[in-house]
Structures are given as C-alpha cells and as structure tokens.
C-alpha cells in the first residue's frame, strides 16, 4: 500500500532543498520578467545554483535509509541557504571597488560606502567558515552513513 503524501517531507533535508530550488527559480523568473539585469552581470551561478541544489536533494533522497546524523543534515542545509547570499555579497563588495565603478557625489557618500565594505569584510569570513563547515559536515555525514550502514527497523 502506498503511503499518503505528508507535509513532514518538507522538513526533511531533500524537502527543504526542493523548497529552496522552487523559491530560487520563482525569484529568478520574477526578476527576469521585470527586466532586472543584476542577475545578468553574473548569470552562471544563478542558473547553476538550482542544479547544484537538485544534486544535493537527490543525494539526500538516495541516502535517507542510511544511519546519519540529522544535526549535520540541517547544518548543511543552513550552509546552502547562506552560500548564495555570501557569494553575491562578496561579488558586490569586492568585485565593485569604488575607484573602478562608482562615481560619488560627495565625500560623505564615499565614506559610507567604505564603512559598508568594512562591515561586509568582517561578516564574510565567519559566513565562509560556516559554509565550508556545512560542506565538510555533508561529506562526513555521507561517509559515516555508509560506514554505519542502513537503518534497522526494530
């Protein structure tokens, strides 16, 4: 007998990642339809990110029968949420230096931009460490799942 669809699926790692894919594609479609071109300055991650999420969701789906740590699952999913924010924030601040691309109307505007860059520089390193830790947690969890074996039904 086939089990009925349950909303608990959305709270599993593959369900959360699927929701992130849908959200990402909706935002991309809305911005593309409205003619916003800030995705056009760096289109590859915006088009490949849903594909990468899909690969993670498939890996979680096929390894769900192995004994893995749920905490590491959700730590990895949280790092996947932070990764695009970190990437675009880094590209916006490091890739757009004021000397190269911005013309400031006055000195105060330039100082505000430099203060913003300093704040982002402080936040980028912990976020990058968190994202890296999430990827390491994913690899450790997959390897541990294969070593620990499949779940047993008592």
The pLDDT tens digits for 102-150 are: 666 777 877 787 777 777 777 788 888 998 999 999 999 889 888 888 8
User: What percentage of the chain exceeds 70 in pLDDT?
Assistant: 71
Q: Which residue has the higher pLDDT, 70 or 4?
A: 70
Query: Residue 42 is part of which domain span?
Result: 7-148
Give the pTM.
0.67
Q: 35 — alpha (psi -120 to 50), left (phi > 0) or beta?
A: left
Residue 37 belongs to a domain: yes
Which bin fits 149, alpha (ψ -120 to 50), beta or left (φ > 0)?
Answer: left
> How many domains does the chain divide into?
1
Cβ-Cβ contacts under 8 Å for 64 (sequence gap 6 or more): 12, 14
When the pLDDT of each residue in the chain is averaged and rounded to a whole number, the result is 76
The pLDDT, as a whole number, for residue 59 is: 85
């Amino acid at each position: 007998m086939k089990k009925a669809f349950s909303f608990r699926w959305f709270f599993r790692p593959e369900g959360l990642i699927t929701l992130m894919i849908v959200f990402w594609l909706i935002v991309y479609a809305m911005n593309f339809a409205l003619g916003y071109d800030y995705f056009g300055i760096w289109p590859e991650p915006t088009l490949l990110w849903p594909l990468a999420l899909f690969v993670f969701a498939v890996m979680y789906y096929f390894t769900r029968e192995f004994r893995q740590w749920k905490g590491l699952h959700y730590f990895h999913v949280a790092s996947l949420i932070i990764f695009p924010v970190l990437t675009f924030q880094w590209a916006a601040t490091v890739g757009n230096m004021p000397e190269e691309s911005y013309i400031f109307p006055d000195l105060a505007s330039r100082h505000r931009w430099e203060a913003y860059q300093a704040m982002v520089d402080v936040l980028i390193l912990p976020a990058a460490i968190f994202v890296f830790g999430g990827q390491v947690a994913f690899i450790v969890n997959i390897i541990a799942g294969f070593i620990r074996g499949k779940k047993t039904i008592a």
